[in-house]
Structure 1
Amino acid sequence: MEWIILLLGIVIFIYFRTKTVKGVKNISTADLKDMLNDKSKQLVDVRTPGEYKARHIPQFQNIPLDQLPSKVSKLDTNKEIVVICQSGMRSARAAGILSKAGFTSVYNVKGGMSRWS
């Protein structure tokens, strides 16, 4: 009985960690390459300043995830927004924050900087 509860807990955890938020599209790093020079998109890297300084994509501005809620008003809700982090987990959380803040077109880079070459 205990293993069933544990298994159910794991399934629920995985479901909520991988489900997409309404208005959020997951894209690959190959898709991202086509968006980098599109001035109609906002590009936000939600990693820490240290991670960003060590390695980043020049077109992205750094707004760490823990600062995003207080800085979301500085972003344009009418523009599409692309978020990236190291692996795609923090950017998925950031995408949810942005979606709840009124952004209707949010892209999350699957695999993040770990998959960027």
Structure 2
Amino acid sequence: MLWQWIIVGIIIVGFIAYTVGRSLYQRSYLKELTQDEFIQGYRKAQLIDVREPNEFENGHILGARNLPLTQLKMRKGEVRKDKPVYLYCQNGVKSSRAAAMLKKHGCKELYVLKGGFKKWTGKIKTKNA
């Protein structure tokens, strides 16, 4: 019985170490920005919404183009490696995954919107507007 608890403990410690290591690695290439910081830089960069097309059509940050995470592997060639990339999704999870893909593609300046679109209070465009 004791050995089972030892194995469970090793698994938990391993998972925690993996999670912390991954987070530290992600911070080496990805910067999470507040809305104010995001606004200061996204006009000089590639602004990409990685949500699905129906979410994008229901409202997106003015000037953004839609490049869904589900299509990113096939369409990564549409993203320039020599310009900063500002990413956002609904809450920040998909944009972080997109940033990992784009880093492998060779993009160096990657930024995500902290809290995602659901926290955005700036200008938006909808399909009716």
Match of 1:55 in 2: 59
Question: 5+ residue gaps in structure 1?
Answer: none
Structure-2 change in CA distance of 1:17 and 1:86 (3 Å):
farther
Q: How much does 1:45 deviate?
A: 0.5
Residue pair 1:46, 1:83 contacting (<8 A) in 2 also = yes
Match of 2:89 in 1: 85
Structure-2 change in CA distance of 1:90 and 1:29 (3 Å):
same
Q: How much does 1:15 deviate?
A: 2.8
Q: How far, CA to CA, are the matches of 2:35 and 2:94 in structure 1? A: 16
Alignment partner of 1:35: what SS? helix
Is the radius of gyration larger for structure 1 or structure 2? 2
Question: 5+ residue gaps in structure 2?
Answer: 122-129
Quick check: which one's helix share is greater?
A: 2
Letter in 2 for 1:111: G
Q: How far, CA to CA, are the matches of 1:13 and 1:114 in structure 2? A: 29
Match of 1:24 in 2: 30
Q: How far, CA to CA, are the matches of 1:18 and 1:89 in structure 2? A: 13
> What is the number of residues matched between the two proteins?
115
Mean Cα deviation higher: 76-85 or 8-17? 8-17
Q: How much does 1:37 deviate?
A: 2.7
Match of 2:127 in 1: none
TM-score (norm 2): 0.77
Q: How much does 1:65 deviate?
A: 0.1
Q: How far, CA to CA, are the matches of 2:118 and 2:22 in structure 1? A: 18
Q: How much does 1:72 deviate?
A: 0.9
Identity value in percent: 30
Match of 2:41 in 1: 35
Letter in 1 for 2:106: G
Q: How far, CA to CA, are the matches of 2:27 and 2:60 in structure 1? A: 25
- Write the deviation string for residues 9-46 of structure 1: whole angstroms up to 9, x where unpaired: 663464366442542211111211112432xx101000
1:64-79 counterparts in 2 under 5 A? 64-79=68-83
- Write the deviation string for residues 55-105 of structure 1: whole angstroms up to 9, x where unpaired: 211211000001011111112111111110011110000011111100011
Alignment partner of 1:83: what SS? strand
